[in-house]
Structure 1
Amino acid sequence: MVKKKIFFVKNINSFYPVLISFVFVFIGQYLMYDNRNLLFGLLFFAVAVIILLLSFFTKKIDIYSLQKDEKINKKIEIILLLAIILIGIFFRVYMIKDVPAGCYRDEGQNGNEAINIMNGVVLDGTSLPVYIERWTQNAAMYMYFVAVSFKFFGIGVLQIRLVSIIFGILCIPAFYFLLRYIFGVKLALLGAFLIAVLRWHVNFSRIGFLGILTVFFVILCFYFAWRTYKERKLFDFIILGVVTALSLYTYLASRLIPVAFFIFLFFLLFKDFKFYKQNWKKMLIGLAAFFIVGFPLFKYAIKHPQYFTSRQSAVSIFNLEMLREIGGRYVEKDGQPKHWTKLYIENVWRTLMMFNWQGDGNPRHNYALKPMLDFVTGIFFVAGFAIMLFKIFAPLNFLLFAFFISMLQAGLLSTESPQAYRTIGLIPIVLILTIIGFQVLNQAIKEEFGKKSNLYFIAFLLLLSGYIGYENYDKYFNGFAKNPGSWAEFSSDEYSMGRYVHSLGDNYIAIIDPAWMNSYTFKFAVYPYKNYVEFSPSEWIPIKAKVEKNFTYILDDTYLPLLPVFKSMYPNGKYSDFRHKFFNSKILYFTYEVPYEDVKKQQDKPVKNGLMGSYYNGIEWKDPPVFTRLDPFILFNWTVDPIMGKFSVKWTGKIKIDIPGEYTFITKSNDYSDLMIDGKVVLKNLGGSGLNAVAGKINLTKGLHSVVLRYYESLHYSKMQFWWRKPGTTEEEVVPSEVLLPQ
């Protein structure tokens, strides 16, 4: 079959209507881009589109006109492409040790799964999974690449991100050859540059997420789909079937690629039925290739449909229970979930606006709600999008539309829109539409200036490319990289403490908050060690374990009041803390390293201090208790309640007073608590939202006094703390264990 270069526009009637339309798009973009005025911005967009499309009616446009490629020296083409790839490499590896910071939990779990694959660990009946049922809830291709990276370069977060970096870089030449096939060299080089520097693509090329593989396969699938339609060779049908099946092993959004093909094939039933008549055998062979390559995944999906669909169900706008739990804009005034059609329409608006107005609000995905496209790219995207819709029944335009509308559904059918990650498959499609916008302007300049236009247009492209590169660099490396929210969202604290515990090795046992200990990031960072246990005040203060090892406490700042307790029990301990990078006064966690000698001395003491706690079902302290234990002090921020459901606790014992005088006692609790000393009610705390503090005063003589401290929990997020202020001081502290004695 004769090869034709298929362009979107030929013979735009006049240079000036096109120029005016782009001026209006520029003004609209200016108004929308920094949230200046959305309504007027959209109005200018609408006027620009009308002017642009009206210029098409004055002269017949031959969409499928035969065009010759602009001639360019092969060596120059290769040099320019390599230069663009080098720019793309720079954007993906510069400051990679620091940006993104930490290791997000999804990355940590991807690393954990890759370790399992590398070590041949049998989970869910196999050591070579095609789909991972646990937290990942995705196909396993990415983890195999990570396992290879671990094998050659060792285990670490950079080795996870290396896979994303490589595929992010591979997207550049892949996208170049796709555009070269459609538009020719000049615009292909521009498109390669756009994907090389686009912040949206750069960000996900530097994070250990699965989605970057989907971008790569969307490019391949689109290329072979269009090539198959044009060339109609058996080889192309087979390759298209293979790459489409392989795409399904990447990320959930890739499941929409076959949907795009189905829409396009349905369109061809009416537009080009000869395609079916002439190629039905080749189509069947391509379909067979698709099913052969995809068979392991399809087999898994049929056998385990509940796991195969669990992730999209969890974030779906059809999940009423989840919508009710999230609340906010997902529910009506009466608290009932909105109908899915309302949410879908809202998501359409939010997702379409993310390109030019307000982008993803997740600090991992984007910087400060900025549009996903830079200022210039957004302008040409609007023009290209309008052309696509105007000439939608041209096969190439409809294929673009099918991909755009299909990949868009990942954001429309789920919560948290606009969602830059779930819609990551849109990146190549959006950039193709952007190139169409440039092509429109290119043709208009050609008509006005003739042969001289090439020089003008190249100079224009160089100027715009410089600005595009600068803006994307600035917003990522000076914006996203220095954004406190982005820093915190990548689990910097969990990764740091994991590496800290890893550095201690087997000579230490880390006593760590259970919420952190069970984090995928922490488990990945500490691998291969398992030198840590779950913190519980009653179990680990003082340390009861009879092992000849050093210990370290790793706790959040709510446990800082325990520091005097630690120092009194373990005077040779060492304190350190980990602070927020951007807010140095904020302590994210602290450590207190305890040498074994101090542990042994404390364990050898004959008297055990604390109050005897009786724990009951319900909120009325009704005997018999479920269990009793000695609690050395009362400073509980339970992440896992000691008893499921509503519960109550009564602590009894003696308090030793060395200095007579007026003492102030405080309970800080989220629900009811009270205190009696020597049978006298000192305070009653009715609780409230968060942590409610109530103080009471009492004069105490030197010696022992009986104490009854009570608390009940009828809500959630159980918290109970017992503090005092001694005579002549203004400083509050947790009542220390050395003054508390069991009954």
Structure 2
Amino acid sequence: MKPAKAGNKHFYADNASPMMTSNRWRRRWGAAALILALILMSTAAMLFWRVKPEPAVPDGTPWNFYLAGLTALVGGVLLLTATPVKLEKPPLLLLLILLLAFAIRLYHFPDVPYGVWGDEAEAGLSARHILNESDYRPIYNGSLHMTYVQMWMYAGLLAVFGDTSILALRVLSVLFGVGAVFLGYYVGKQIHSPSFGLWMAFFLAIMRWSLTFSRLAITGIETPFFALLTLYLLIRLMHRPSLLNAVLLGFGVGGGLLFYMAYRLIVAGLFVVALLHWWRKAIPYFLLVGIVALMVIFPILIFADTNPDVFLRRQRDTFIGNLVPEVYPTLEKAIYENAKTYVRMFHIQGDGWSLYNYRNVPMLDPVMGVLMILGLAFALVRIRQIENQFFLVTLITGLAAGVLTVSEAHSGRTVGVVMVVAYLCTLGLFGVKELIERFYHSLPEQVPLAAGLLLGAAALVLNFTAYFNGYAHNYEGWILSARNRVIADELLRYPPEDYRLIVSNSTFSHNPIFFIEPDLFPHLEGVEIAGLFPLYTESQKSFYIVLGRKDIWAVDYVRMLYPNAEITTPNLNRFRLEGDIPDIPFMFGVRLRPGDIKSLQGLDERGRGFLYVRQTGEYRFLVPPDAAITLDGVTLEPPETVLGLNVGLHTLETTHPLQWQPPGTSNYYPVPSHALYHAPVGVMGLRGYFYPNPNWEGIPASDRVDPTPYTYFHEIPLARPYTARWVGCLQVPADGDYEITVETVGYAEVNINGEQILAAATEDGQVGAIRTLQTGQIPIEIRYRDTQDYSALYVQWRPLTQGDLMPLSPVLLSPDVEACQ
């Protein structure tokens, strides 16, 4: 390891290089270019201010001035610079390491990760929008925290590789990941030696942490790239101060600020360290760096000023202070407890989110884990060396990007520290080599080299195996991105001209399918499964219906209603999945032909069955004089009877064909056959009463029978605040202990046998209780108060000794309260 020179003088020059060229012609044209850049940038800024940019600027004119201004700035600096830019030829070993980095990032690239994650799809849709709409020029995507540069890059890749290609988006992450490897070499070479740079590049190339984010089209992996670029240019400026180096650093800082927010803390730390060592001469150069960086990022600054709520929403929503005092008594305690999870992330327990990690395994393999600890020890012992200060501070600021949020051990928010890990691993390797050489003078040089190569090979194998044999086949992570790809593959087998395609909202994510199959998407009908069956349709098409795990009650219901239905699950054997795979598949495909659907329609031979009403309101019935008609036990009197009916099934018995006049119509006409059903259709579920107040008071505004109290309310039944109560009987299939849970957005209570056993509010998450129940029907009541957006109520249960929690099946529920009194 190259020893640090006294006072770190090798990091900066005593005398600055000439700021500008002495060539009069170049100085004149360079100055003119800078003046032009200032004019163009000022014009762009005024245009941006004038339009008060929303997430997208409808007119491309401000962007044209902005890009022209940046071009003029670069041209002017190149004309004014005193020394030409010299490109160094990379060594052969670096090219081999870069080839290795590309190889492991592109290995099984189409299949790992399989499918499309939601954030990837949203980014792809924004990029496609840029390609398809000339007046859509976005500045910022608040939900993804993504600025215009990354969205434009995605748009360019989609234009090259196809606008439905998730691989096109992921290529950008591959390039940033490999770019960090390239920069790691030059940073290591600057601060130590070429061999140090090669090892640092190697660790960046093989590290699973970097590999994971290099294969996902999400923000994050660009952070170590820009952090290394900034550090390289910063050291270059300190070593050779010049106009060109200052401007290059300004562009590097500005570029980093236009990507993931974790970079902001890292760059601040790097400049603090630099100022501590170079403050006497740094001020004019750092001012120039700041000016150039501001010229690069000013569109996003204008957006932040005019749309602060959008720009700062994610930071506010994820700030760890939100956990005080509900979870932690003080902010200091919250930071301390969260920091412990991030410290354990490296060597003990990694990121718990399966999309980013494999079964909570540490983020570092054993070889790199040990080397990092050794390197950290060497860095602390030699903390006066400026290079160690740079990386130790980056370790703190990189982790702070996660520690200061509500997430525990989030490897995505802290991905910037991979550059520190690579540095410390290399420092540990070189430090051990130095110690060996100090105490074993006669040891051949080939021995430490061979040992290092063996350790490197072991680290490569461990990281490669953990990713491609572990993470790639881990069900918990696979399902997050693969679900919608598998669903789309199944749907593509059923052409829309022959089938109506229905997808349960419990398993259907709009963005991923819209991105990967835009031609299929318009034919999909996302629905709440509660109330879907029996199918109310006169269509002559077959139906293909996708149900999710939480719709297992509907699968059982379909089997009862349509015994000839084809119910299939996708074959996942080709993925060789491992881990905690649920017994119940994540998807069921239900195929119903017209004959299956019609088999339930119409009354039985005695005129008995059910009338299905799709709209709550007053219905008029034309009753012949000699007819005997009862509806919900009410006798319809001739010549006409008016009844108020709620949505759902109503018991019907008639001796004559029924004619009606539904709400909003002016004439009588025969009730269509697809509104009439016979057994085994029945009124199943719980009867819900809806009150236009927050206290379940007064006369209900409406009532209806709902199949099961497990739903997200896409359309709320009343204006907020309102309350609801569902009552009926629950059939307990066998004696035993049962776990019952409730989770809600709002407030909910569950009452069994007249006893309140559960109460939960939004902030409580899932709340459960265990009760011993006996076979037979028991009364059940569920209360719900809706006061906020995203209304939802999820009641589940299971026998305590078996299975997963599941919604209450409507087959086990009856709205007839008297049956269980």
Quote the Cα distance in structure 1 between the aligned partners of 2:546 and 2:296: 48
Contact 1:579/1:585 (CA < 8 Å) preserved in 2? no
1:596-675 aligned at under 5 Å gives the runs: 596=594, 598-599=596-597, 602=601, 604-605=673-674, 607-608=676-677, 610-611=682-683, 615-617=689-691, 624-629=699-704, 631=705, 634-640=707-713, 642=717, 645-649=722-726
Instruction: Name the counterpart of 1:175.
Output: 184
Match of 1:713 among 765, 772, 783: 783
Contact 2:101/2:205 (CA < 8 Å) preserved in 1? yes
Q: Which runs of 5+ in 1 are unaligned?
A: 1-5, 11-60, 67-73, 325-330, 332-336, 653-661, 675-682, 699-707, 722-731
Instruction: Name the counterpart of 1:108.
Output: 121
Instruction: Name the counterpart of 2:372.
Output: 381
Instruction: Name the counterpart of 2:584.
Output: 586
Quote the Cα distance in structure 2 between the aligned partners of 1:462 and 1:95: 26
Deviations 1:533-577 (A, max 9, x none): 333356522333555544222222443344465356556642112
Deviation at 1:295, TM superposition (A): 0.9
Contact 1:685/1:694 (CA < 8 Å) preserved in 2? no
Answer with 542-551 or 688-697: which moved more: 688-697
Quote the Cα distance in structure 1 between the aligned partners of 2:322 and 2:206: 37
Q: Which has the higher helix share?
A: 1
Quote the Cα distance in structure 2 between the aligned partners of 1:114 and 1:308: 19
TM-score (norm 1): 0.73
Report the CA distance shift for 1:184/1:454 in structure 2 as closer, same or farther (over 3 A).
farther
Deviation at 1:691, TM superposition (A): 9.8
Q: Name the structure, 1 or 2, with higher relative contact order (CA <8 Å, separation 6+).
A: 1
Instruction: Name the counterpart of 1:148.
Output: 156
Instruction: Name the counterpart of 2:622.
Output: none
Report the CA distance shift for 1:546/1:264 in structure 2 as closer, same or farther (over 3 A).
farther
Report the CA distance shift for 1:628/1:185 in structure 2 as closer, same or farther (over 3 A).
same
TM-score (norm 2): 0.66
Deviations 1:233-270 (A, max 9, x none): 221110111011111122121222331244224413xx
1:270-419 aligned at under 5 Å gives the runs: 272-276=278-282, 280-320=283-323, 324=326, 331=327, 337-419=328-410
- 2:127 maps to 1:137: no
Instruction: Name the counterpart of 1:52.
Output: none
Instruction: Name the counterpart of 1:185.
Output: 194
SS of corresponding position for 2:262: helix
- 2:245 maps to 1:236: yes
Report the CA distance shift for 1:265/1:563 in structure 2 as closer, same or farther (over 3 A).
closer
Report the CA distance shift for 1:424/1:709 in structure 2 as closer, same or farther (over 3 A).
same
Percent sequence identity over matched residues? 23
State the aligned residue count: 616
Contact 2:751/2:782 (CA < 8 Å) preserved in 1? yes
SS of corresponding position for 1:517: coil
Match of 2:490 among 497, 500, 510: 500
Match of 1:434 among 404, 425, 442: 425
Contact 1:138/1:252 (CA < 8 Å) preserved in 2? no
Amino acid paired to 1:116: H
1:15-164 aligned at under 5 Å gives the runs: 78-120=91-133, 127-133=136-142, 135-154=143-162, 155-164=164-173
Instruction: Name the counterpart of 1:559.
Output: 551
Contact 1:9/1:439 (CA < 8 Å) preserved in 2? no
1:441-480 aligned at under 5 Å gives the runs: 441-447=432-438, 454-480=445-471
Quote the Cα distance in structure 2 between the aligned partners of 1:697 and 1:373: 54
Quote the Cα distance in structure 2 between the aligned partners of 1:737 and 1:396: 69
Deviations 1:199-218 (A, max 9, x none): 11111111222101112111
Instruction: Name the counterpart of 2:76.
Output: none
Instruction: Name the counterpart of 1:513.
Output: 504
1:539-558 aligned at under 5 Å gives the runs: 539-545=531-537, 549-558=541-550
Quote the Cα distance in structure 1 between the aligned partners of 2:466 and 2:561: 50
Quote the Cα distance in structure 2 between the aligned partners of 1:9 and 1:518: 55
Contact 2:502/2:544 (CA < 8 Å) preserved in 1? yes
Instruction: Name the counterpart of 1:423.
Output: 414
Quote the Cα distance in structure 1 between the aligned partners of 2:732 and 2:361: 55
SS of corresponding position for 1:587: coil
Deviation at 1:292, TM superposition (A): 0.5
Amino acid paired to 1:80: L
Contact 1:616/1:622 (CA < 8 Å) preserved in 2? no
SS of corresponding position for 2:569: strand
Contact 2:347/2:369 (CA < 8 Å) preserved in 1? yes
Quote the Cα distance in structure 1 between the aligned partners of 2:287 and 2:815: 82
Q: Which runs of 5+ in 2 are unaligned?
A: 12-86, 602-671, 743-748, 759-767, 786-791, 798-807, 817-821
Deviation at 1:734, TM superposition (A): 5.1
Deviation at 1:696, TM superposition (A): 6.7
Quote the Cα distance in structure 2 between the aligned partners of 1:282 and 1:669: 62
Amino acid paired to 2:154: V
Quote the Cα distance in structure 2 between the aligned partners of 1:669 and 1:232: 65
Contact 2:113/2:481 (CA < 8 Å) preserved in 1? no
Report the CA distance shift for 1:7/1:233 in structure 2 as closer, same or farther (over 3 A).
farther
